[in-house]
Each structure stands twice: as structure tokens, then as C-alpha cells.
Structure 1
Amino acid sequence: MSSTEFKKRVYGCVVVKAVNANYNADFNGLPRRLKSDGSFYATDKSFKWLVRNYIKKNYENEKVLFRKIYDDKFVDTVDLKKAFELITETTELKDLKKKDILPKLIDCIDVRLFGAVFSPENAKKTKSDENKSISVHGVVQVNHAIDLFGKGKVYTDEILAPFTSIGSMSKATEAHYIHNFSINPKNLSSWKNVIKKEEDEKEKSLLDDGKENSLKVLSQSDINILKNSFNNAATFYDSHSKSGVENELSIYVTLNENSILTLPNFAQFITFKKGENGEKNSFDISGLIKYLTKHDEEIASIDIYYIEELTTLVFDNQNSKIKIFDLTKTI
């Protein structure tokens, strides 16, 4: 994959369907619902967890920091400090300064994409050591998802297990969750100036020219991995509770490099209609395409991913910048 730096901003959305499934459970094991009106929703954390899992399982050369890592005895999970040392092949975190920690953090693709708050408890400032806490603003921001369908119900099944008493599992009959997201590569530039040198070098960045070149930036390869993950991560993770959770639609609107255009939430432009009598489910994205066409001079491309055999898209395909792709085809 290409290591060319990716500099353009992107706005988009990902739709995840859940049929007789529990995409994002609350602490009671029920599909999450808004207290205001009872509609289904899902957190950004649930989707990003699936993305991290997809990257970890399909891109062995990429480092993923925020994931479960068990200790040598497979009894318990390790803390953030230990995970950092294992993933980045660092002998002792306490021996590193911030200027050494930052490049190692950014070397992890999930930190490059989603950012991180790195503040291991046993690495905090002491009289003889600097504070090693770092907050990294990720280039990819994912919003909580709302349900476009709005007619699903929750039901609970009693289940038997070989070594326990009767349990239960709750699922939603049907929901179509839409996560909006944005990608801003410029967030990376602020990382280089997060940390400052000692008192005698206050005016300089901690990272000199040699160190600055060692910091990874968002690449075309990262974007390709992100797209493959966004398009397939939900379908790929096929656990018992998430059987029936699948990717359904992805839209990526890439702006011209020098554009300062900001785009609103795509969910308010898209409507979902459930197929009846053997018809396919459909998404009407006419309003979105019409709005984007108003800003045509600011937009480099509009990429739409879905499975034609399962889903119908309704829109006026007169915009030459629109390209249609099969959702399951990786880049």
C-alpha cells in the first residue's frame, strides 16, 4: 500500500444493520436506547472496537495499542503501561521521556486514526521524573449512531448453558444504525508541538528536525485500511450476540486539499425504507447528493459502497464525481 501522505479532509457515514441482534449493549445487556424517546443508538466506542479488531486480525504488520492483551498466565489483562511496552517493544516506560513516547504512540495505527489519552498511573510525575501523560487528537472522529428505522423492538430469550443455570439474552428485532464521521489529517500537525523542551529551549518544539521526520503522518495506506475496516468490520466480527450485525452502506466525501468547507451530519439527509413482500431495503440519499452538488467545486470525490443485491439506493446519479463500489471489495 502507498505511504504517500494523505492531506485531504473527508466527511462520511457508515450504516450498520442489526437484525435479531444486539449491536451495542448497555450495562444491563439490553440494546442501548435513548431515555428521551426509546429509540436505539450506539456509541462510537462500539464501532471503533470493531474497527480495531478488524485491523488487528487482517493487518498483522500494524500495531494496535488499545485492545485486550492478557498476561503471561492468561489470567488477567495487562494495564496501559504494560500494553504500551509490549506493543511498542519498549523495555521500560519509566526510562523514556515524552519526546520518545510520542513517536511510539503514533506508530500505532489506532492512535494515529482515533487518538489517545495516554496516562498510565504508574508513569505519572514524581520529583525525579517528568509527567509522561500525553493527549493525542485523532484525525478520525466518529459520532454516536442513531437508528434510521425506528420501528424495532427489544425481546429477551431464555438460554441454557452446560455448567450454569438458565440465563437470558436480549436483542433488537431490527435497527439500522448510522455513524457519521470526519477525517482531518491536519490534526497530526498539532501533535508535533504538544510537548515543549526544557526551560532553556521554551521557544523550540521538543521534536527537532531529525525527530520530527520519525513521526508518522496519515498516509494513503492508512486511508485504505480505514475504508476496508469501516466497510467490513461489523460483518467480520460474527459473535453469537452480534450474529445479524452487518455493514450495509458507507459514503465518503473527499474534499479538495485546500478546501475549508465543513459539511453537516449526513443522517439528516438520508431516509430508510424497509423492503416489503420480497423487496430490498432502500436508502434514499437524494437529499444528500443534492446538497453536495451545491458544493461541487469544493469536492474531489464521492465514493459510495453498498451491496446491490441486498440494498437499493435512491438518488439522481448525474454527479460525475460519484463512484459506486461493492461494499465487500477491499482496496
Structure 2
Amino acid sequence: MDFNNRVFGCAIVKAINSNYNADFSGQPRTLPDGTVYATDKAFKYTVKNFFKAAYPNETIFYFKSLNANMNPISLDETYIKHFGDYPTDKKTIKHTVAGKLLSCLDIRLFGATFAGKNINISIHGPLQINHGVNIWHENNIFSEQITSPFSNKSNDPEAERGMTTIGRQSKLQEGHYLHHFSVNPANLSEIKVLAGEAASGISTNDVVKLKVAMRQGATFYDSAAKAGTDNEILFWVQLNENSKLILPAFTDLVRTLPEKRDGKTIFDFERVNQLLSGYDSEIETMELFINEHSAIAINLPGGCNTYPLFGNNREES
């Protein structure tokens, strides 16, 4: 069944002594004023990584694959890996390739800029995710030295260094990154016409999988650098199918209180409550998924249903 509702919401990822999204120097990314942030790509990666592990029957196109020499394969090689050789009919190649791309879960959701051999296709994805900004009142970054168990030889084969290689890693003491997002299924309308009747838009089942991944993907991706990075909140505002309501980004509307309660971070939704209070007739459902072991949400809008962050919450059979 096609999913036709527009959605607004936010996903919050916490980092405790962790580095959720590093820049190319290895430091947590910072804005000019020192506020820590993460790119939308960081959150999308956790979602796609979860898709690949949890839903092996789904094709995830924009995800690194390696060849026999352990090197990343190209865009064209990725297409051939999943779908075989490109069509030879120049009149229908765009239609055929567009249909193939829309069979991929990540492209149906995030869209794609596909610049392959003799073909260029741009797909405006229904799901748009903003950069995540730290809404905690502190941005304390620290670095620590680490050692390797291997010697760092000098150019002189006779010389050896007494110490092993020393490196450095940087982490954020505490952060709560808020990513605003929106879903607009109509973004695929034009490309679906190009691809033909067999082309897929996003389905209700796609959205079920998306919500599960947005709630658990960061916690699931437990690398050494990201140990301590966990999903914390998913707030989902689903409008009625025919609603024309436009909402601003939630980035500045959710705030954290400086003092914790029983070791839990308090998230204040008062400004979101004020924003949504006059639009009850436009909203089909409002859901908050929260890690109750680390977070507390206050001043939620009336009619908001609250669920545990982890587990399937009866979404998946």
C-alpha cells in the first residue's frame, strides 16, 4: 500500500564520551561558534547500515561494496552488480534505469543523483534530513593519546625506536544531536511517471522499516569511535493525507534543561507544543519514541502517544 502522508519530526542521537561524526582531522565537527554538529550523511549512514543488516532482502544501492581486490567498486559496477548490464535501447534506457533505482529502499526514501555511463538521473527523495545540532548546553571536546603495539621504524634500518607509534583520538564529553526531518511522498511523483507504471513509490511497509531504523540505527552501529553513541528520541508528526500544513524545522524548538533528573536528560517540548496546538485537525497521529533509561520528555503536545525507543512496538509482524 502506498504511503501518501507528509511527516515532520526530529531524531535525537546522544553521544557520551564518543565521536558521532568526525571531520577529516578526527575532531567532532563544530560550527564557527563552537557548537558541535553532525551532517545529515552521518544519520543516513546509520539508517542504511541498519537496513542492510535487518532487511537483507532489500536492495541498498548507495552503500560501499568491495571488489575482489578489497577496493570500492564504482557507481556503474554497483548498478551492474544489482541489476545486470545497462539497457541498450537509448530511447528507453532512462525509463528502465529509473525503475530499477526505485526498486532500492534507500533511493525510494533518500533519493539519488545518479551519474552513470551515458545516463544521468536525479531523484528527489521523499525523506529530507537536516544536519544534527547539539542542543546540550555544553560542547566539551577532549583528546587522548593512544598507542599502537607496532614499532614505527625510521629510515635507517639499523635504528629502532624504543616506543611504539603514538596516535590521538578526540571525543565529545556529552552531546545530544537533534536532526530535523520531513517526509513528502509527492517528491517521487515526476520520476514515477518517467519510470512507468511498474515503478515503486514509498509504501507503508517502507515507512515501518524507516521508523525502526531511525529509532535504533545509531545504537546498532557500535564501532570503536562510536561506542557511546546511541539513539535517544524519535518524534514523528504524521499529517492527514490531504493536509497542506507546512511546519518549520524543530531544531530550535526542542531544548534540554541544564540539570538532569535521576541522571536522565530532560527534553522540553514546550515550543513544539505551542506550534502544534492549533493544528489538531491537520494531524493524523503524533508519536514519541524515547529511551526511558536516559531521557525524559516534558510538555509534550496533547494527543502524543509515547512508546519505548527499542523493540518493534508491534510495528513489524
Taking structure 1 as the reference length, the TM-score comes to: 0.86
1:118 to 96, 114, 118: 114
Instruction: State the partner residue of 2:179.
Output: 179
Q: Distance in 2 between matches of 1:21 and 1:109?
A: 29
Instruction: Name the aligned partner's letter for residue 72 of structure 1.
Output: A
* Residues 1:86 and 2:70 are matched in the alignment: no
Superposed CA deviations along residues 264-308 of structure 1, whole A, max 9, x for unmatched, are: 111222111254474321101122123212111111110100022
Following superposition, the deviation at residue 73 of structure 1 comes to: 2.9
Asked if the contact 2:137–2:258 (Cα under 8 Å) also holds between the matched residues in 1, the reply is no
1:273 to 257, 280, 285: 257
Following superposition, the deviation at residue 192 of structure 1 comes to: 2.9
* Residues 1:27 and 2:27 are matched in the alignment: no
1:139 to 126, 142, 153: 126
Q: Distance in 2 between matches of 1:152 and 1:326?
A: 28
Instruction: Name the aligned partner's letter for residue 259 of structure 1.
Output: S
Residues 1:114 and 1:100: Cα distance change in structure 2 (over 3 Å): same
Instruction: State the partner residue of 2:292.
Output: 308
Counting only pairs closer than 5 Å after superposition, residues 58-77 of structure 1 correspond to structure 2 as 58-74=54-70, 76-77=71-72
* Residues 1:161 and 2:148 are matched in the alignment: yes
User: How many correspondences in the alignment?
Assistant: 297
Q: Distance in 1 between matches of 2:258 and 2:292?
A: 15
* Residues 1:47 and 2:39 are matched in the alignment: no
Q: Distance in 2 between matches of 1:271 and 1:135?
A: 36
Asked if the contact 1:64–1:87 (Cα under 8 Å) also holds between the matched residues in 2, the reply is no
Q: Distance in 2 between matches of 1:63 and 1:173?
A: 37
Following superposition, the deviation at residue 155 of structure 1 comes to: 1.0
| Percent identical residues | 36
SS of 1:119's equivalent?
strand
Unaligned ranges ≥5, structure 2: 153-164
Following superposition, the deviation at residue 316 of structure 1 comes to: 5.2
Instruction: State the partner residue of 1:12.
Output: 9
Instruction: Name the aligned partner's letter for residue 62 of structure 2.
Output: F
Superposed CA deviations along residues 106-127 of structure 1, whole A, max 9, x for unmatched, are: 101100000000002xx12xxx
SS of 2:248's equivalent?
coil
Moved over 6 A (4+): none
| RMSD (Å) for aligned C-alpha atoms | 1.5
Superposed CA deviations along residues 95-149 of structure 1, whole A, max 9, x for unmatched, are: 36111101110101100000000002xx12xxxxxxx110000010000111101
Q: Distance in 2 between matches of 1:224 and 1:159?
A: 41
Instruction: Name the aligned partner's letter for residue 139 of structure 1.
Output: P
* Residues 1:95 and 2:77 are matched in the alignment: no
1:323 to 305, 313, 317: 305
Asked if the contact 2:39–2:130 (Cα under 8 Å) also holds between the matched residues in 1, the reply is yes
Residues 1:269 and 1:71: Cα distance change in structure 2 (over 3 Å): same
Q: Distance in 2 between matches of 1:242 and 1:274?
A: 24
* Worse-superposed segment, 65-74 or 10-19: 65-74
Q: Distance in 1 between matches of 2:307 and 2:260?
A: 25
Instruction: State the partner residue of 2:158.
Output: none
Residues 1:93 and 1:137: Cα distance change in structure 2 (over 3 Å): same
Following superposition, the deviation at residue 30 of structure 1 comes to: 0.4
